[in-house]
Structure 1
Amino acid sequence: MRISLGAMLAIGLAGLQFIAVLAVVFSSYVTSERALLDHARELLSDVGTNAIEHSRGFLSPARGAAELSARLAQDQVIASDVPELLERLLFQQLQFAPQFSGLYHGTEDGSFVYVMRDPERDAFRTKIIRTGGGVRTTELIWRDKDYSVLERRMDPADTYDPRTRPWYVLARDKLTTVWTDPYIFFSSQRPGITLASPVLDGSGGVKGIVGVDIEISDISSFLARLRIGRSGRALIIHSNGDVIAHPDKALLKTVDSNGQLRFPDIQHVEDPIARAAFGHLMDNGTVSVEEETLSQFIYNGETYVSVVMPPINDNLPWITAAYAPESDFTQVIKMNRRDNIWIAVLVAAITGLCGLGLANYIYKPVRAFAVRSALISQGELDPAEPLPATYQELENANATLMQQIAARRATEMEYGKTFQLSSRGMAQIDAETGRFLRVNDKVTDITGYDAATLAGMTFAELAHPDDPRFLLFDAAQGSLPHEINRELRCQRRDGSTIWVALDAIMIFNLDGKPLHYVLTMEDITQARQTEDQIAELSRELSNLSRDKTLGQMAAGLAHELNQPLTAIAQNADSALYAVDQLAGADSELRATLHEIAEQSMRAGEIIKALRGFIRRDEGIRSDFDLTDLIQQTGHLVRAEARAAGVKVSVEPGPLPPIHANRLQIAQVLVNLIRNAIEALASTSQADRQVRITARVDNGHVLLSVADNGPGVDPNIRLFTDFETTKPSGMGLGLSICQSIVQANGGRLWHERREPRGARFNFTVDLAEVRKGAA
């Protein structure tokens, strides 16, 4: 009958434990009293060294923060005269250093920026004093940890002047980074120290001072955590005798004759043992220690050991001291004997050797079973091979393992064939990083990347660079989607753009932890192109139908308008003939009738040009003077401008002849000017102006119609048919103007004016350029 592995381990471990406990019970550790005292002194020395290093490490970030802020302000990396930027810098440094209670920056003109912790509101408080323009203001701001404003108010009663504070005066006089003596902060009533660093200008003068307030109560907390025997203590004494750190923080505050909080000195601190151990160090108001000093003293009949460490450095003349009773180290251990050490060593050696042999004996069949299982898993050994001699539990586990391996292999083969031979692209993607773990050949065909290259990429890198970043598998975004279905643009390795349809599901392990995504990908570029072509064809058919309707309507209107215009021209000629026959006829009447005849003929020419434009012909182009046309156009809209209270100014200047259809260009100018007048008429502003300018620009004449009205609504798509903001408009004016300008070889565009208004520009060809091109 085979012995159970569990029984073998239980018996062996229980026996070893019994032997070990028995040996420990009948043995004890002993050493000499002198060795223990030396150990106690070494422990106290290590405590002092640790306290010094902790204090140095606790305060060193303050020097770096102050000097960094000073250099940034000095080098103008951070504008020290911009309180908002300086406040953010101090706020960030205060968040990085939990030992800082406040950071501030004062300048020679009395300006001040102070960021401090506010434990009462669990927030940060900022004080900003501004002195610009001879006016002094004080603003208080409370912010949360995300720099969001909780409260903001002014403090007109504040009279704080940083230039009078000791830290400012000391740093300005010494022109270097300085430490103040420790003191009790007025606001928090906690012990602290201030470090100040000057901000120098280019000539060596002082522009301001950067300061850091540090609460040193954490040093007392560190001393309280130190274990020096059972009842030993460590404390820190300033060179003036003040006890500035003690395991019992309540002993660090006393009230002087003026009613102000201060530190107690070593001769009056409410720790009688500390007074007995270190009170003699104070001489004429100072404590001076040149080197590490170990000593013994007796208090209430008990012997104590103590250590005093020299100051941390010249800037921080802090003396670390520690004491502990000798009995903490020797009382219990004196009861043991040296010989028990060798007994314990001998028992440990025998127990270790026995345990090693027993463990090897127990583990030998387990190791053979583990090797056999690994070989079977790798396919290097047939599961039907005989099982080596082992434990019953391992034989049972082997049978179960073989069944699971066979089932897993069948599943893996089936999944592998499905994955590789799928007609759609398939991939496994890591749920945390989004990197490809495995891809089939279809994915490489779709993306153009080989499997090795994809193994070093994330799916987000396939997304088109012009589209928003597709962080499908970014675990940092919180809860991951279990299913994903969407279409997006991707960029192949050759730079071409494709559309793909994605379907992905999350795979979890038995503990519910995400393992990876199984993703299928299909190239739908051709389908999307077909959809776009159908949509484009639909738009073209719609535009064609609309153009045909408008053409028929315009042709009918042109035909109907020609008849009354012809009658007007004939009647005007008849009236002129009648006036010529009358003696003493009024010259103004003759001029009016002559203008009626000219304008009726001009209207006919406009209708003729409109019919030619609808028939898609270019109309008659000729060389003409643009300056005269601009002046005439301004005359035509003068009445409308006067009625709307709009001033129209024409500034064409001297221009060379242009080559275009004169009537069509006039139509564009009139339409743009009327649009500007209508835009100004809808406003209540007093100053309403439309300015028409023209100049030669790069081989063309550039005409501009600008107004100071409300501008163009950004939601309106300019130059698009049937887009209008006018209640009675058709939305065709700008579209027709653009078509006319393009038909005459130019282009039309819009520019936004600042602070308000709109400017429409269009170009026409110079007559010289046209001839040169011919």
Structure 2
Amino acid sequence: MKNSLGALLAIGLAGLQLVAVLAVVFTSYVTSERAMLSHAQKILGDVGTNATEHSKGFLRPARGAAELAARLSEHRILASDDPKILERFLFQQLKVTPQFSSLYYGSEDGSFVFVMRDPGQIPFRTKIITVNGETRRSEQIWRNANFEEIKSEVDPTDRFDPRTRPWYTRARDTLDTIWTDPYIFFTSQQPGITLAAPVRENDDGDIRGVVGVDIEISSISEFLSNLSIGNTGKALIINRNGDVIAHPNRDLLKTKDTDGTLRFQNIREFEDEIAREAFSWLGDGFDPPTHKEAFSKFTFNNEVYISTLTPVISDNLPWTIAVYAPEIDFIGGLKRSRAISIWIAVLVAIATGVAGLALANYIYRPVRAFAVRSALVAQGEIDPSEPMPSTYRELAHANETLMQQIVARKKAEREYGQTFDLSSRAMAQTAPETGKLLKVNTKFCEITGYNANDVKDMRYVDLIHPDDRTLFNSDFFAAGDSFATRHEVRFIRKNGESIDVAVNAILIRDHNGNPLHAVVTLDDITESKAQENQIARLNRDLIHMSRGHTLGQMAAGLAHELNQPLAAIAQNTDTALLIVGSLQDSPPELREILTEVEEQSLRAGDIIRALRGFIMKDAASAISFDVVALSRQAKRLVQPEATEAGVTITPPEGSPPMVSANRIQVAQVIVNLLRNAVEAIGDSDLVRREITVTVQQIASHLEISVEDTGPGISDEIELFTEFETTKTNGMGLGLSICRTMIEANGGKLWHDATYTSGARFCFTLPVHQDSPEDEAGSEKRS
């Protein structure tokens, strides 16, 4: 037993040590490898970005030179019809820009001025073709760096016509600066590209000629050869047709066709085998990334490489920068470090195993003494009453420690039980499969009215109101692997009373994942539900008040309109009485009828004036209050309608001064404006459905704005006019009443026609001046 236990401890300790070390090593390696590859990807991306910016910077002077010459010619600053002046200008541009191979200008009459670098002993050569009617003259001039003529000759056989060249026709057709695809120059046999810019005659689109620039791009390959990409990585530039136009080894770029002409090598036939393996797919269908870099891996000759492709530089320069490098260049040191770490881990595990064997013998010694004494006692060779050796005291101490742990665990369980029982929230434990109540606390009994004995045979669904039980079944708490729920439901108390409760429940599992029980927490929300109902009643009362104001406004309008015809009746009746009185044989019954008509019209006028006076007395005293707090309360009244319409209401922020006004009337105005906005957005199919209320102080008034993202107000609607409405069932009195109430409180209400993202209504209220306030009438800030 000793050997087996000691070996087990030694092997286990050494094995755990080895596993731990290897886990750390491999975890560190994987993490470091990812970091290094991410860093490598960033390096390749930076190389592509640098190559892109270098290419742009290399070619940017050509565009500037061509467009400068074109603009100078257009504005008659540079005489393009004078070959000598144009030659000098092109010579100066060519001389100061070393990457230019040649500059030239061709006109619509076939004239041509061409300045180029000459590979011979004389550094510059010019060709000037002039056309004068049927007369054509072609002259070549060799010049030194000081523009001094060295020699010249006339070539009568030269039939070159710039108007037939692709660079000329494309610039003339597009009326814009164009770039050709890269090609091998015939004279210098070096890779290059041509840029051409049209010289316009007028704004109608006619052109006078085209300015062209030939640029050798060999230095881009030289730039790529100087880049440091790992140890052996390389970068190359691929044109949209798959031609490799720049590479660290410039000798690989050119190849001869069967007719002897030079051209670029395509990526599919490129002699750099690694680049061909990495990017040969670009040769067919050329589909490089257009928005972000594309990073990938590939294997060549059993070696892993990483590569990246940059997006195309531009529409005019459809080049993509391709970069590749061996993965080992970036993580080679990391792999060597991993191998060393593994050997260190093995050595540490061997040393740990030896130490573990010694430790196992030491640990096993007291157990072995205990086993020997037990065997001797069993054989009767020693008396059990003899003093216990130190081995027993060690085991007794271990046993005592174990008992202490058991006591501590039971104490924790007891404390948990007390926390459960004494919690201020109602709690219960239920069986997940049946929903049976296993345990409840005092607060649970207080809320439901049942005692602990009553709930022993009850299930959770037995407490739910019969109308709500269809939503729950017996195994409701067993659903899902990570069950957790929050819902509101009605409970029936023991006395039959219905209460509203908010339920939170979670499912507790053991270490094997088997469900033990569900812990249910209850909160009595009956009172909060009642408060919500009170707010709803307040909303209905406010609606009723609004209807009363509407009827009052209608009655006032009717009274105003009826006074005029009644006054006319009274006047006409009085005139009729005068006429009847002047007649000698007038019937007395007619005088009595007219007299009664006049009395009744005057009586009707008195009644209407009394009614109007009664209506106009509907004004309460002004108090000081916080309009921000009132706006938030108004939002709560309109919130149900806004939620149903999918509208978001944002109340005002900040702490503006108090205002002095009739609080109820101002609340009615805010609610009416909010409801109008909700209805306007709700009847539309707009995606953005928002209402924003803002408050700002302007001098001695506060300006309150209600703006929405609805369809706005039609220009055909006359706002604030009685009986004018956009609603199907509206009476057209809401805004009129609102304006009347705001004006009665010392402010004004208007529609902001400058707001075009919906509708915005604004009104002002006077700021409350510092004076002794009626504490009962003032509202505290929220």
TM-score, normalised relative to structure 1: 0.39
